[in-house]
């Protein structure tokens, strides 16, 4: 299942038409049924897993199972399921039907619901049909963004068809696919990759740097485009999904980068991982590195993504300490406001991020060492 599959493209066209043609009382049910049916078309085990996670979360949130222990048990169960799912890649079962479509994203949605329920056990649950439509919401099933239940419910309550919103959504949809196909795939992954291929032997340093650049830009255009498609698809159905990317390569610090890159994931981690851990440990540095390490492992259970997460965590620690040190001096505060400093900060942040992509694109520890050896010394 991918955004370029003909069946998925057909569903993007047909589902909004069916949705708005149905009487209001049947729209959420129809949306849920078509979402599950579409997922089952591509992977029946994935659809069954999604329904199982939805049923568990439904029992705790909507049915209001008394006491906090059932909520805590459900949270622990979903965490264990997530760990088991991510561990499958360690055994190279990439082609296995047990590698379920969208699980990394809808498990975070389910955990968000349960953690909010644990924190506010007296808060009124949303109606069952709204909850199921939220958990089974097709536009965000594949690769997010990770959206909130309360906002979804609010959108439903005030929902009305708008030709203006539909027009803007269609424009956003085309722009998202242009990012994926024209910029990410054709320009970056084909043309740019072909242009730099001949540099590997004669200019190894330049080649390795440009290869990191190609990887990072391809990743950005692919996932930012996919987020555009998801946001536009949701808008065609009358729901508002928060932005997921906000020009991250224009960031003047690594902290700003993480406020602009994969915003739904970084916001989820900040709210549900970093904040409670920091409150318990009172140790900013360790909590920050641990949180970023977990974000890395969320992407993939591997040494390269653990290193990538720790690398970004260390960058955030250095940044925060730099800001704290320069805040003590009025002169340094004035320097940080200068245009030349902002330009330099953007360039430094960009280079830091690109080196991080070099870690992520390495297939093994040996590849990682070879990459940085060529990048620094220029020799194979």
Contact 142, 42 (CB under 8 A): no
Contact 360, 304 (CB under 8 A): yes
pLDDT reported for residue 294: 93
Cα(318)–Cα(316) distance, integer angstroms: 5
pLDDT reported for residue 102: 87
Residue 354, φ and ψ in degrees, nearest 5: -65, -40
- Predicted confidence (pLDDT) per residue in 237-249, tens digit: 999 999 999 999 9
pLDDT reported for residue 152: 95
Report CA-CA distances (Å) from 274 to 118, 223, 268.
17, 24, 9
Q: Please report which confidence band the pLDDT of residue 52 belongs to, taking 50, 70 and 90 as the band edges.
A: very high
- Mean pLDDT for 260-269 is 95
Q: Please report which confidence band the pLDDT of residue 31 belongs to, taking 50, 70 and 90 as the band edges.
A: very high
pLDDT reported for residue 89: 58
Angle, helices 6-21 vs 204-236, to 10°: value is: 30
Higher pLDDT, 174 or 88: 174
How many residues belong to the chain?
380
- Average pLDDT, whole number, for the chain? 89
Instruction: Give yes or no for residue 93 having a pLDDT over 60.
Output: no
pLDDT reported for residue 66: 62
- Mean pLDDT for 288-316 is 92
Contact 88, 45 (CB under 8 A): no
pLDDT reported for residue 99: 65
- Cβ-Cβ contacts under 8 Å for 73 (sequence gap 6 or more): none
Report CA-CA distances (Å) from 112 to 36, 117, 146, 235, 272.
21, 8, 9, 22, 8
The percent of residues above 90 in pLDDT, for the chain, comes to 59
pLDDT reported for residue 295: 94
The percent of residues above 70 in pLDDT, for the chain, comes to 95
């Amino acid at each position: 299942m991918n955004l370029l599959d003909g069946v998925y493209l057909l569903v993007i066209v047909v589902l909004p038409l069916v949705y708005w043609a149905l009487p209001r009382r049947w729209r959420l049910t129809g949306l849920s049924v078509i979402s599950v049916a579409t997922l089952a078309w591509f992977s029946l085990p994935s659809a069954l897993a999604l329904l199982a996670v939805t049923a568990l979360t439904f029992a705790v949130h909507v049915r209001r199972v008394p006491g906090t222990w059932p909520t805590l048990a459900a949270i622990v169960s979903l965490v264990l399921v997530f760990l088991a799912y991510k561990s499958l890649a360690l055994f190279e079962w990439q082609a296995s039907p047990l590698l379920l479509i969208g699980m990394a994203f809808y498990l975070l949605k389910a955990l968000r619901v349960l953690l909010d329920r644990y924190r506010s056990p007296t808060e009124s649950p949303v109606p069952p049909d709204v909850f199921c439509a939220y958990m089974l919401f097709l536009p965000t099933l594949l690769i997010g963004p990770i959206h909130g239940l309360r906002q979804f419910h609010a959108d439903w309550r005030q929902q009305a068809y708008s030709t203006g919103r539909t027009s803007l959504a269609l424009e956003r949809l085309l722009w998202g696919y242009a990012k994926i196909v024209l910029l990410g795939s054709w320009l970056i992954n084909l043309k740019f990759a072909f242009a730099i291929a001949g540099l590997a032997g004669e200019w190894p340093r330049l080649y390795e740097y440009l290869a990191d650049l190609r990887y990072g830009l391809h990743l950005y255009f692919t996932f930012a485009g996919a987020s555009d498609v998801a946001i536009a698809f949701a808008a065609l159905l009358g729901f508002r999904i928060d932005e997921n990317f906000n020009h991250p390569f224009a960031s003047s610090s690594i902290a700003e980068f993480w406020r602009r890159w994969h915003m739904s994931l970084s916001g989820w981690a900040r709210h549900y991982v970093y904040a409670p851990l920091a409150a318990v440990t009172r140790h900013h540095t360790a909590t920050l590195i641990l949180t970023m390490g977990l974000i890395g492992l969320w992407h993939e259970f591997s040494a390269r993504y653990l290193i990538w997460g720790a690398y970004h965590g260390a960058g955030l620690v250095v940044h925060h300490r730099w800001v704290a040190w320069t805040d003590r001096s009025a002169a340094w505060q004035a320097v940080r406001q200068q245009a030349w400093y902002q330009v330099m900060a953007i360039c430094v942040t960009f280079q830091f991020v690109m080196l991080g992509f070099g870690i992520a694109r390495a297939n093994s520890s040996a590849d990682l060492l070879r990459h940085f050896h060529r990048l620094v010394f220029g020799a194979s």
